[in-house]
Chains A and B, each alone.
Chain A
Amino acid sequence: MPMMLTLAAVFVIPIVFLLLLSLHNMTGPAQVGDEFTLENYRSFFTDTFYLRVMLNTLWLGGIVVLCCLIISYPVAYFLARTQSRWRGMLLFLVVSPLLISAVVRNIGWFPILSNAGLVNWLLMSLGIVKQPIALISNSTGVVIGLVHALLPFMILTLTTVIQRIEPELEEAAASLGASPVQVFFQVLLPLSVPGMVGGSLLVFTMAIAAYTTPVIMGGNRVMVMATFIGQQFRTVLDYATGATAAAVLMLLAALLTMLAIRLGIPRAEMAR
């Protein structure tokens, strides 16, 4: 079958060779030895530097998920419940960033977040801060960039789930004397948990796999697994270590995807 042959040639075989590469020792720049060894994996899971890169990746992914959840919920609730004729337009605005190049969107954050940028200008004009605060070319920038890139996915997932919660439930709770806060915490939130889990898994997987945004928004300084792998292959030329980290990242993404399939929720897509 031509399709299977094509996919084997362009994808399966290169991935297998990458896994083989991770089983060799580095012998020099862009060089590996002949013997097979698990040494790379042993040091990857014991060396504190590598462990810190991995923990940093998971930590940033977690923060991105949390921010996406908090920012998405009100918008998703609105989109799920509104009868407004602007709904289609607003939904269009939610998905439209997905159709603009990730590189271009990241570029747009520089005039907003840099030291002489919009946010620092506002903060200093209002007298909230005296010195500009660093919002880009660090972890903060990476989080902002990833939250912006992945927010549409969370909003779409939550909107679908909230739509399935009958508005009558909220009305019933309210007419029985529940305050809006109680309605939210005791009716809406518990019923939206499945959607929140699904959206979080989706966003987390894409956040830890992202490469372009962490490089640009982190100013090449923030070490997550993706930027680490890129660095090993582009500048450090330690292919064996890079391949090992790539194998670990791939395994992590595969496990999260399998979990998503088991839970029957939308799968992450790592094409960008």
Chain B
Amino acid sequence: MKTIAFPIVLGLTFIFLLAPIMVVVVSSFNAVGVFSFPPRSFTTRWYSQIDPSFYHALYVSVVVASITTALAVIVGVPGALALVRSQFRGRAILNAICLSPLTVPALVTGVALFQFSLIFWDVFRLTIGGTIAGLVIGHLTFAIPFVVRAVLASHTRFDFSLEEAAQNLGATPLQTFFQITLPILKPGIISGAIFAFLISLDEVPIALFMGAGDATTLPVKIFTAMEISFGGDILAVASLIVIASIALMLVLEKTIGLERLFATKQ
């Protein structure tokens, strides 16, 4: 396969992979509009036309992702440890249930939570849908399994003699947990938490059905705004997201390494 055709095929594939991302940034400066390319005149007008509600949606997204990730770690790490360390019948089933939300299409989870929030309102007069709490509830469905799986994966090569040594030297169970167990599992927990955070920022179907009004995440805000009118301001928002994502990626690459981050995923 050492012909001239091979490099061309490779080049085209990488262009295909990266084209929409680069085009978003270029097109956001196109004065003629969203749908025409290549651009014929330059403008920054779309950036000044971004509606303030997009910034509010960004704020909602960050708040929801932060609370979700924190809760998922607080609940998920002890839960995963209990799962992996205790010996009882049905452990395999509980394990499967913990990871099952990842195999259910997010849209199905979204509509399930949506009708459940309606039932909740009918029975208890409690509003879950359309609140930050509702969005957090929705995102916990995948955030907890992400953390659990990351902990399970990093626990497979756990050296129990380190914990025994600590206890022999007089450490209390609590000290052992915080000074031995947790530091060993930390890389796994961090990568699970980062995934949970990133997916929460990006996810549409669940946030679409659990959010409304002021409690709308940024991707859902863009998604619904496109259905109403798709203009240059949306491209400007998308372009800002691309730039922020690339910055975030570079930070992750420098601090953790993307390959390592993805390696813990499967």
Chain B residues with CB below 8 A from A103, complex form: 202, 204, 219, 222-223, 238
Measured in the bound complex, the distance between the Cα atoms of B237 and A260 in whole Å is: 38
What distance in Å separates the Cβ of B103 from its nearest Cβ neighbour in chain A?
4
- Give the number of residues in A that approach B within 8 Å (Cβ atoms): 83
What distance in Å separates the Cβ of A260 from its nearest Cβ neighbour in chain B?
9
Measured in the bound complex, the distance between the Cα atoms of B97 and A13 in whole Å is: 12
Cβ of B1 within 8 Å of any chain A Cβ, yes or no, is yes
Chain A residues with CB below 8 A from B115, complex form: 14, 17-18, 21, 233, 239, 243
Cβ of A143 within 8 Å of any chain B Cβ, yes or no, is no
Cβ of B234 within 8 Å of any chain A Cβ, yes or no, is yes
Measured in the bound complex, the distance between the Cα atoms of B113 and A13 in whole Å is: 9
Measured in the bound complex, the distance between the Cα atoms of B138 and A114 in whole Å is: 34
Chain A residues with CB below 8 A from B226, complex form: 107, 216
Cβ of B21 within 8 Å of any chain A Cβ, yes or no, is yes
Cβ of B53 within 8 Å of any chain A Cβ, yes or no, is no
Query: In the complex the two chains form, is A229's CB within 8 Å of B202's CB?
Result: no
Query: In the complex the two chains form, is B253's CB within 8 Å of A272's CB?
Result: no
Cβ of A117 within 8 Å of any chain B Cβ, yes or no, is yes
Closest to B107 in A: A211
List CB contacts (< 8 Å) of A1-51 with chain B: 1-4, 6-7, 9-15, 17-18, 21
Chain B residues with CB below 8 A from A212, complex form: 204-205, 219, 223
Chain A residues with CB below 8 A from B201, complex form: 101
Chain A residues with CB below 8 A from B23, complex form: 108-109, 111-112, 118
Chain B residues with CB below 8 A from A99, complex form: 198, 245, 248-249, 252, 258
Cβ of B36 within 8 Å of any chain A Cβ, yes or no, is yes
- The digit string for B236-250, where 1 denotes a CB below 8 A from any CB of A, is 001001100100110
**Given known contacts A7-B144, A250-B108, is B98 in contact with A269 (CB within 8 Å)?**
no
Measured in the bound complex, the distance between the Cα atoms of B108 and A161 in whole Å is: 32
Chain B residues with CB below 8 A from A9, complex form: 137
Measured in the bound complex, the distance between the Cα atoms of B103 and A209 in whole Å is: 10
Highest count of chain A CB atoms <10 Å: which of B105, B198, B266: B105
Measured in the bound complex, the distance between the Cα atoms of B34 and A52 in whole Å is: 33
Closest to B9 in A: A74
List CB contacts (< 8 Å) of B80-115 with chain A: 80, 82, 94, 97-98, 100-109, 111-115
Cβ of A172 within 8 Å of any chain B Cβ, yes or no, is no
- The digit string for A239-269, where 1 denotes a CB below 8 A from any CB of B, is 1001100110110011001000000001111
Chain B residues with CB below 8 A from A17, complex form: 112, 115-116, 119
**Given known contacts A100-B21, A103-B222, is B230 in contact with A110 (CB within 8 Å)?**
yes
B interface residue numbers (CB < 8 A to A): 1, 6, 9-10, 13-14, 16-24, 26-27, 30, 34-38, 75-76, 78-80, 82, 94, 97-98, 100-109, 111-116, 119, 137-138, 140-142, 144, 146, 148, 198-199, 201-205, 208-209, 219, 222-223, 226-227, 230, 234-235, 238, 241-242, 245, 248-249, 252-253, 258-259, 262, 266
A interface residue numbers (CB < 8 A to B): 1-4, 6-7, 9-15, 17-18, 21, 71, 74-75, 77-78, 88, 90-97, 99-112, 114-118, 121, 148, 151-152, 156, 180, 184, 209, 211-212, 215-216, 220, 226, 229-230, 233, 239, 242-243, 246-247, 249-250, 253-254, 257, 266-272
15 contacts between A and B (CB under 8 A): A4-B79, A10-B141, A78-B10, A92-B259, A93-B18, A96-B21, A99-B258, A103-B204, A111-B30, A111-B35, A121-B37, A230-B107, A230-B111, A243-B115, A272-B202
